[in-house]
Amino acid sequence: MPLSMPQTAPDTLTLTRPDDWHLHLRDGEALKAVVGDTARHFGRAIIMPNLKPPVTTTEQAQAYHDRILAALAATEGDKARFTPLMTLYLTDNTTADEIGRAKASGIVHAVKLYPAGATTNSDAGVTDLLGRCAAALAEMERVGMPLLVHGEVTDPAIDVFDREAVFIERVMQPLRKAFPALKVVFEHITTKDAADYVMQAEGPVAATLTPQHLLYNRNAIFQGGLQPHWYCLPILKRETHRQALLAAATSGSQRFFLGTDSAPHARGLKEQSCGCAGCYTALHAMALYATAFDMVGKLHNLEAFASHNGPDFYGLPRNSDTITLVRESYEVPEQLPYGNTELVPLAAGQTLPWSVRD
Ligand code: DOR
Ligand code: ZN
């Protein structure tokens, strides 16, 4: 899908260095291949814990944190300037003590809820949130540790395209009623229902938005044939939802902030009979977001979305340096090295109207 050139907006935009509030970095060779892409433009990122096995303890989070910094130093050398913000993977067995250790560590900044079976490596996820996790949630509410939510029900009777909307009713509302002061981030929202819910909810609720859900609707998955590199979870929705998400992201509301959900999978694991979910955007996220904001004449609200609202919600300082975006064509590479295989970024081979001045 061609991304249209905007008309009346500045050609250069300098903003406080952004952070990515939802990122998959993987581990081992994959980690080494991708970490530099995020560190190039972002100051910090919230690191998802859905490794195999998942990161369920503070001790595991500390070890993963150290592997990330080692991988970064190995690829970027002296240029390494990036802080990974670690998360724990919530399970039916997460204790209040573990939440206490996480808070005390200073490196764990949130806990992630994957409903069991919802997405990649979510088998160890939660089966009954209020029934099994009440002690952990109460402690998180008490110490101000945000819960990051993959907001889809897993009930096979619910249509894949309706799973986020149904989640609001079945899980989000009861959760927020039981723990009204718990900070909750509704991750990678994909529907008008979720955008409206977050906009109107009382209490400390926010949402992250990915570049793909701002730029594309579900037609992109079927454009001229099956397009596996546009397949992620929650799946792209219809155009009315895309428009509502873009309106929310660019509205200036403090409740919406940047979270790429950049999720690398080797080319062969996406281009096969049962392909993995995830879009790789760490490389060109800021160009994609600038393109989306520019399409609706809202570049002036990009800095709040990318660089202010996230740290403000998490209670962290904003970054003190800047990056500069320029209206210069950026050709998205056809593929990138990924260990001994390769990775296809979102919109591979296409030209974006914005780039980051390195
Ligand atoms: O598309 C996705 N990919 N959605 C997720 O929730 C997980 C992610 C991954 O880890 O690959
Ligand atoms: Zn994710």
For every residue of 171-202, DSSP letters joined together read: IIHHHHHH-TTS-EEE-S--SHHHHHHHHH--
User: Hey, is 75 helix, strand or coil?
Assistant: helix
Ligand 1 pocket test, candidate residues 50, 89, 185, 270, most atoms within 8 A of CB: 50
Counting from 1 in the atom list of ligand 1, the atom nearest the Cα of 232 is 1
Structure confidence at residue 5 (pLDDT): 54
According to the annotation, is 112 in a ligand binding site? yes
348 Cβ inside 6 Å of ligand 1: no
Q: What percent of the chain has pLDDT over 70?
A: 96
| Number of domains the chain contains | 1
The one-letter code for the residue type at 63 is: A
Distance between CA 209 and CA 211 in Å, rounded? 7
In ligand 1, the atom with minimum distance to the C-alpha of 50 is 10
- In the chain, % helix, strand, coil (3-state, to 5) comes to 40, 15, 45
Name the average pLDDT for the chain. 95
Q: Are 214 and 292 in contact (CB under 8 A)?
A: yes
Question: Is 136's pLDDT higher than 70?
Answer: yes
**Ligand nearest to C-alpha 280:** 1
Placement of tokens 């393109």 in the chain: 291
Token pair for 322: 């800047």
In a domain, 2, yes or no: no
Domain contains 211: yes
Domain residue limits at 216 = 12-357
Taking only the tens place, the pLDDT of each residue in 141-159 is 999 999 999 999 999 999 9
Q: In whole angstroms, what is the distance from residue 223 CA to residue 83 CA?
A: 38
d(CA 97, CA 143): 12
Question: What pLDDT shows up at residue 103?
Answer: 98
Residue closest via CA to ligand 1's atom 4 equals 233
CA of 35 relative to ligand 1 center, distance in Å: 17
Please indicate, yes or no, if residue 3 is contained in any of the structural domains. no
- pLDDT exceeds cutoff 90 at 129: yes
User: Does the CB atom of residue 84 touch ligand 1 within 6 A?
Assistant: no
Cα 233 to ligand 1 centroid, rounded to whole Å: 6
First to last CA, the chain: 27
What pLDDT digit, counting tens, does each position of 191-245 carry?
Answer: 999 999 999 999 999 999 999 999 999 999 999 999 999 999 999 999 999 999 9
The pLDDT of residue 109 is above 60: yes
Q: CA dihedral in degrees (34, 39, 42, 48; nearest 10)?
A: 50
For the cut 80, the answer to whether the pLDDT of residue 25 exceeds it is yes
Q: Is residue 4 part of a domain?
A: no
| Ligand (nearest to CA of 30) | 1
CATH of the domain at 99: 3.20.20.140
Q: Is 213 annotated as a binding residue?
A: no
pLDDT on residue 81: 85
Query: If DSSP codes are grouped into helix, strand and coil, which group holds residue 352?
Result: strand
**115-121 average pLDDT score:** 79
**Distances in Å between the alpha carbon of 226 and those of 123, 219, 229, 233, 271?**
27, 10, 9, 16, 10
CB of 279 closer than 8 Å to CB of 229 = yes
Residue 163 lies in a domain: yes
Asked, for residue 180, whether it belongs to a domain, the answer is: yes
Model confidence at 125, pLDDT cuts 50, 70, 90, reads confident
Over residues 316-353, the pLDDT tens digits come to: 999 999 999 999 999 999 999 999 999 999 999 999 99
pLDDT exceeds 80 at position 176: yes
23 within a domain of the structure (yes/no): yes
Query: Is 1 part of a structural domain of the chain?
Result: no
**Residue to probe by mutation, ligand 1, list 119, 188, 230, 279, most atoms within 8 Å of CB:** 119
